[in-house]
Amino acid sequence: MHSAELIKESRGALAREDFTTRDDANWMKHALGYWENEKVWLDYRPVHMNTLDDEVESFPPKARVY
């Protein structure tokens, strides 16, 4: 819950009434949670936008529309 509260956008299963659109410029990253020695903390890592080989083409993200 805490990591979802920190993300200031709506994307996929995370829908917020106060941030109704996705924000790729600021939130194209993974939220990570860590626990060690009875302490919990959150961090982020970027989303890798490249593929592992030349056989699969990379494509930019886009909003899901139904």
pLDDT at 1: 66
Q: What is the pTM of this model?
A: 0.63
What are the domain boundaries of the chain?
Answer: 1-66
CA 42, 32, 11, 47 torsion-angle sign: positive
Provide CATH code, domain 1-66: 4.10.80
What pLDDT, in 10s, does the model give residues 41-57?
999 999 988 899 999 89
d(CA 43, CA 36): 14
CA 33, 43, 6, 51 torsion-angle sign: negative
Q: How many percent of the chain have pLDDT more than 90?
A: 17
d(CA 1, CA 51): 30
